[in-house]
Amino acid sequence: QVQLVESGGGLVKPGGSLRLSCAASGFTFSDYYMSWIRQAPGKGLEWVSYISSSSSYTNYADSVKGRFTISRDNAKNSLYLQMNSLRAEDTAVYYCARVSPEVDYWGQGTLVTVSS
Amino acid sequence: QPVLTQSSSASASLGSSVKLTCTLSSGHSSYIIAWHQQQPGKAPRYLMKLEGSGSYNKGSGVPDRFSGSSSGADRYLTISNLQSEDEADYYCETWDSNNWVFGGGTKLTVL
């Protein structure tokens, strides 16, 4: 069965950096686009970024463009999100998701808290 | 870029049916959408992909009580024989030019 397991969340100060990881299993990872989606406390879902199956194409929400970088390692069945220059408004649960092209599987999420 | 509009809340009685609406913005009425369910304290779960024709494909393990339909720019999620576990937030999603968009979500209360 498809499994997506995020890790790397935690408490970070404003201006700091964090790297999220997502370990995928149960499907041929290299065949699928992947995305990161976040949810601020008590709020709705916000798409953050996507990456194509071979890493040729990426895109970002305007709110994170220039600060976040998505990447993947198909040999390790892993997806990453490097988050720099973090702000309080980046506080959220971050979900890893498989895209085909709709989101058809979600991870359980990892909480990122940006606070001094 | 498309915008998805959902009512903020809905309610219905145990055992009854409810129809949730997601409306696509002008110029995007033909877009395919997906519906997701998020129970309290849990990650979202994919329910189905829904086309403008009304044709839909459900995700693995989604009960038969969940169905989809379409009319113009409106996409619907109908839940029949409501159960207590259907109390959740429901989000619609669409995509365009390598951007993905979510509606604001509808909070469904089962009375």
pLDDT digits (tens, 9 = 90+) for A35-47: 999 999 999 999 9
Query: How many Cβ atoms are within 10 Å of B12's Cβ, its own excluded?
Result: 18
Chain A residues inside the 8 Å CB shell of B102: 37, 44-47
DSSP letter at B71?
Answer: E
Q: Does A42 touch chain B if contact means CB atoms closer than 8 Å?
A: no
Return the number of CB contacts < 8 Å for A and B. Answer: 56
Tell me if B105 and A46 make a contact (CB, 8 A cut-off).
no
Tell me if B100 and A99 make a contact (CB, 8 A cut-off).
yes
Mean pLDDT over A59-82 rounds to 98
Nearest-10 Cα torsion for A46, B31, A96, B67: 100
Q: Does B104 touch chain A if contact means CB atoms closer than 8 Å?
A: yes
Percent of chain A past pLDDT 70, that is, above it, reads 100
Give yes or no for residue A68 having a pLDDT over 90: yes
CB A106 within 8 A of CB B43: yes
From the list B32, B34, B103, the residue facing A103 with the nearest CB is: B34
What is d(CA A110, CA A34) in angstroms, rounded to the nearest whole number?
16
Chain B residues inside the 8 Å CB shell of A53: none
Strand partners, B49: B34, B57
Tell me if B100 and A108 make a contact (CB, 8 A cut-off).
no
pLDDT of residue B73: 97
> Looking at chain B from residue 36 to 55, which residues have their Cβ under 8 Å from any Cβ of chain A?
36, 43-46, 49
What is d(CA B97, CA A84) in angstroms, rounded to the nearest whole number?
25
pLDDT of residue A96: 98
Give yes or no for residue A103 having a pLDDT over 90: yes
DSSP letter at B45?
Answer: E
pLDDT of residue B97: 84
CB B92 within 8 A of CB B35: yes
DSSP-assigned letters across all residues of chain A = --EEEEE--EEE-TT--EEEEEEEESS-GGGSEEEEEEE-TT--EEEEEEE-TTSS-EEE-TTTTTTEEEEEETTTTEEEEEE-S--GGG-EEEEEEEESSSEEEE---EEEEE--
Q: What residue ranges of chain B have pLDDT lower than 50? A: none
